[in-house]
Amino acid sequence: MKSFVGKALRWEWRDAVVDLTLDREPANEIGTILLGELEQFAAAMKTFEAETAVCIIASAQKRGFSAGADLRELYRGAIALPEKERNAGVRDFVERCHRVANAIDAAPFVTIAAVHGVCFGGGLELALTCDIIVADKMARFAFPELRLGLIPGFGGIPRLKRDLGNGFVRDLLFTGRSVNAARAQAAGLVAQLAGEGEALKVARATAAQITKFDSTTRATAKKFLKPIPYAELKEEIVLFCQLFERPAVLAALKKFVESTDAMPYLP
Amino acid sequence: MRTLEQTTTEVLDLATRHFNAAPGSLSASDDFFKKLGIDSLQALELLSRLENHFGIELPDYEVQGVSDFRTLAERIQSRL
């Protein structure tokens, strides 16, 4: 399926480049609808991967690339389940996220995340599956999970460790702070900085260059350059689910969901 | 080195420009969430603009709970 329009995203293949556009209000929170359509994209990739050079993942939402997991849905879904079934429900969701992330990470074509605005939590984990991150100079990146008593659960830590120095990784994780695009570029997270509102344009120019190269060489180089840390990713699922079992996490999620503070995502 | 007064003026000017407030309508003691009608994500955008303008990094936990321009300017001043 070379084109698709869903409730939370759409994709369109043209001249060896596939544009995957996230478009779910308010800020592409990753819940069951967005995840379900990402799964459809991961399945569809197989049908066009041989004739694809580049995939650009971007957002049509003004607020940013993605604010991360849909915590309201996660919380409401968790409390709706009997306590002994809760962990299995969360594990199922996290495993589905990992399968999608691993599929995009392993794509034989080059993947570019064109990021603007917020790129937090699960949104950053999605961007980290990509080979190249192009960021609008106003973009911000964060892993706020520890503020809720969790660790990133969609492959964030193994992929950050794969790509970046541990000093920056620990700062990002242990403070939960957000960093701007210039800092993210200095740390090696962002490959290219774009002017305000220009990330997609820069990503397209990058894609145009990449499409000139031989596909076999490109796929071979990617596989060699970017091994997928499967063992650590599996370990992350276990740790995330262990942490999620604790009452403190549900309490933190409850506080977040019910917060009327101006900045509710920061406990 | 800027004085706190200069920093505060620059913060107010930047917020006025970016959020299309009427010139002179913002003051240092204003609650910027209420005065500008912004939400948490727009506050992050303001933070990015301030970081870019002053050439600093201002961790968001340092401005957690801050809602007036003067205190925001003080936090910026400590990073200049």
Superfamily, domain B4-77: ACP-like (1.10.1200.10)
B65 interaction partners in chain A (CB closer than 8 Å): 263
What whole-number percentage of chain A has pLDDT above 90? 82
Its ipTM equals: 0.86
Report the SS3 class of residue A166. Answer: helix
User: Is residue A39 over pLDDT 90?
Assistant: yes
Give the Cβ contact number of residue A220 at 10 Å. 12
B61–A182: do the CB atoms touch at under 8 Å?
no
- Assess B71–A contact: CB distance below 8 Å, yes or no: no
In terms of pLDDT, which residue wins out, A1 or A117?
A117
Q: Which residue of A has its CA nearest to B43?
A: A263
Residue in B41, B49, B67 nearest the CB of A27? B41
Give the Cβ contact number of residue B29 at 10 Å. 10
Q: What is the pLDDT of residue A99?
A: 97
B51–A262: do the CB atoms touch at under 8 Å?
no
| Tens of pLDDT, residues A87-106 | 888 999 999 999 999 999 99
In terms of pLDDT, which residue wins out, A261 or B50?
B50
A183 interaction partners in chain B (CB closer than 8 Å): 57
Q: How far is CA B73 from CA A30, A97, A210, B8, B56, in A?
A: 35, 41, 44, 5, 12
CATH number of A3-198+223-258, picked from 3.40.50.720, 1.10.40.30, 3.90.226.10, 3.60.130.10: 3.90.226.10
Confidence of residue B37 (pLDDT cuts 50, 70, 90): confident
- Assess B19–A contact: CB distance below 8 Å, yes or no: no
Beta strands at A9-14 and A17-22: parallel, antiparallel or unpaired:
antiparallel
Amino acid (1-letter code) at residue A199 = A
What are the boundaries of each domain within chain B?
4-77
Q: Which residue of B has its CA nearest to A147?
A: B61
A175–B61: do the CB atoms touch at under 8 Å?
yes
Q: What is the pLDDT of residue A28?
A: 96
Confidence of residue A267 (pLDDT cuts 50, 70, 90): low
B40–A27: do the CB atoms touch at under 8 Å?
no
The residues on A that touch B, with CB distances below 8 Å, are 27, 63-64, 67, 117-118, 137-140, 142, 175-183, 262-266
Mean pLDDT along residues B8-36: 92
Report the SS3 class of residue A34. Answer: helix
Report the SS3 class of residue A192. Answer: strand
User: Is residue A265 over pLDDT 60?
Assistant: no
Q: How far apart are CA A142 and CA A121, in angstroms?
A: 6
Q: What is the pLDDT of residue A255?
A: 87
Contact B79, B58 (CB under 8 A): yes
Q: How far apart are CA B69 and CA B57, in angstroms?
A: 17
B59–A177: do the CB atoms touch at under 8 Å?
yes
Contact A119, A141 (CB under 8 A): yes
For testing contact with chain B, the best of A180, A260, A261, A266 (most B CBs within 10 A): A180
Mean pLDDT along residues B44-65: 91
Q: Which residue of B has its CA nearest to A116?
A: B45
How far is C-alpha A197 from the geometric centre of its chain's CA atoms? 20
For A68, phi then psi, to 5°, come to 105, -160
Mean pLDDT along residues A10-38: 96
Confidence of residue A263 (pLDDT cuts 50, 70, 90): low
Beta strands at A140-142 and A118-120: parallel, antiparallel or unpaired:
parallel
Provide the number of CB pairs (under 8 Å) joining chain A to chain B: 51
* Least Cα separation, residue A106 to chain B (angstroms): 32
- A227: buried, middle or exposed (CB in 10 Å: 19+, 13-18, 0-12)? exposed
User: Is residue A188 over pLDDT 70?
Assistant: yes
* Least Cα separation, residue B77 to chain A (angstroms): 18
| Tens of pLDDT, residues A214-258 | 999 999 999 999 999 999 999 999 999 999 989 999 999 998 888
Quote the pTM value. 0.94
Both tokens of residue A92? 């199922």
B33–A262: do the CB atoms touch at under 8 Å?
yes
Residue in A117, A180, A263 nearest the CB of B40? A263
A262–B43: do the CB atoms touch at under 8 Å?
yes
User: Is residue A266 over pLDDT 80?
Assistant: no
A137–B52: do the CB atoms touch at under 8 Å?
yes
Confidence of residue A264 (pLDDT cuts 50, 70, 90): low
User: Is residue A77 over pLDDT 70?
Assistant: yes
Q: What is the pLDDT of residue A125?
A: 97
For A40, phi then psi, to 5°, come to -65, -40
What are the boundaries of each domain within chain A?
3-198+223-258
Distance between first and last Cα of chain A: 43
Confidence of residue A199 (pLDDT cuts 50, 70, 90): very high
Mean pLDDT along residues B43-52: 92
Residue in B41, B48, B67 nearest the CB of A180? B48
Question: How does the average pLDDT of chain A come out, rounded?
Answer: 93
User: Is residue A23 over pLDDT 80?
Assistant: yes
User: Is residue B40 over pLDDT 90?
Assistant: no
Q: How far apart are CA B2 and CA B24, in angstroms?
A: 21
